[in-house]
Chains A and B, each alone.
Chain A
């Protein structure tokens, strides 16, 4: 088909469209909804006492801040990258949060060693953390893909990578409200494995889930 004919045919197919809301507004809506659900879930179950006792320790407070900052910045970056013409440098936004998260968790590992339960219960409660991150991430990822696919991203790989990092970080942050013990090597390894699984699944499903243009 000649380009002239293509232009004519696109003109004939033209219908009015509803303009997409700015990425920052869409990010705020998703994060607001996730926060609201989180507050409801925590207040109806364990309450704030686990979180408030753990967060008194500065290192744990840094770890929680790292997770929270990663969640917010990665979701915002994913929504920015989903629209053509935004700077590719948005992809670097979650980096400081990630560094804070990993560094403070790493310090916890240095303090607590491999496991709090000795060789007999090497994995201990950490397997529940893995299941929690995966279980919370699935509905959050579905909701984020729903928001992202409206943009029909032209380059879905960075969008899916950043989006799933944001989802997994949100789930890891939510876990802090239900996590009664400090981080250990095996605990961090399982947290990171869960984050990796969430990201791999999201990246694998990106074309279909994001309705890439």
Chain B
């Protein structure tokens, strides 16, 4: 850790004097560290990546505040934690003021337009069903099926092992199928009743 900190310290020192290669190497090297710190605040892959990118942008903006006489990791950790808190607060603020309006989708006479809207409606439906799954299963299906991540990428992003991801994704698909069948039966029952 000390050796790593020393390397980052000298890379940042070089970056402060404008050496692009050292700077890019530093940013590449600190990205997994930043991701690990951010993961303590959030496990959602999308938010996690936003935290990583916001942290790198902030490092760029405040790179003149780093003092090479001091260790690098506490400086970087403080920036990462701050950005993670800011993003989580922003999410909370937005979700407390906004909600999705499912009925705002209109259908049009042109078949092509409807097809597009139906796709949106189906996606919304899948998203609603996903909310009913246990968190680990939802995480697995989102990463592997919706974001089309590889098993290794999904494992790194979610913190689940490859084996656990496979099992959770399989269970999630089975549960989704059952949920969809349940919905179809309900809809058919309503139509027969009418």
* Contacts from A to B (Cβ < 8 Å): 1, 3, 6-8, 10-20, 22, 83-86, 151-152, 154-155, 213
Contact = CB atoms under 8 A, between A and B. Distances in A.
Given A6-B57, A7-B27, A11-B20, A154 B63 contact: no
A86 B63 CA distance: 15
Interface string B163-194: 00000000000000000000000000000000
Range for the number of chain B residues in contact with chain A: 35 or more
A18 B19 CA distance: 14
A151 to B, nearest CB: 5
Given A85-B70, A85-B75, A154-B82, A8 B58 contact: no
A213 B20 contact: no
Contact of B64 (A11, A12, A18, A155): A18
Contacts of A14: 15, 18-20, 23, 60
Interface of B: 15-20, 23-24, 27-28, 31, 49, 52-53, 56-58, 60-68, 70-71, 74-79, 82-83
Contacts of A155: 82
Nearest to B52: A3
B18 A11 contact: no
Contact of B53 (A6, A86, A213): A6
B31 A22 contact: no
Given A10-B60, A16-B18, A155-B82, 7 more contacts: A15-B18, A17-B63, A19-B68, A84-B62, A84-B65, A85-B75, A154-B82
6 contacts: A8-B24, A17-B16, A19-B66, A83-B65, A85-B74, A213-B61
A8 B56 CA distance: 11
Contacts of A83: 65, 67
A151 B17 contact: no
A11 B65 contact: no
A12 to B, nearest CB: 8
B interface, over-half SS: helix
What are the 3 tightest A-B residue pairs by CB atom distance, in nearest-first order? Answer: A16-B18, A85-B75, A17-B64
A19 B64 contact: yes
Contacts of A13: 60
A148 B15 CA distance: 23
A16 B16 contact: yes
B38 to A, nearest CB: 12
Given A6-B57, A10-B56, A16-B18, A84 B63 contact: no
B169 to A, nearest CB: 24
B74 A7 contact: no
Contacts of B53: 1, 3, 6
B61 A19 contact: no
Contacts of A154: 58, 62, 78-79, 82-83
Nearest to A18: B64
B58 A213 contact: yes
A7 B53 CA distance: 9
A19 B9 CA distance: 14
A12 B27 CA distance: 13
Contacts of B17: 16
Nearest to B69: A22
A1 B19 CA distance: 24
B64 A10 contact: no
A84 B68 CA distance: 13
A19 B75 CA distance: 14
B65 A20 contact: yes
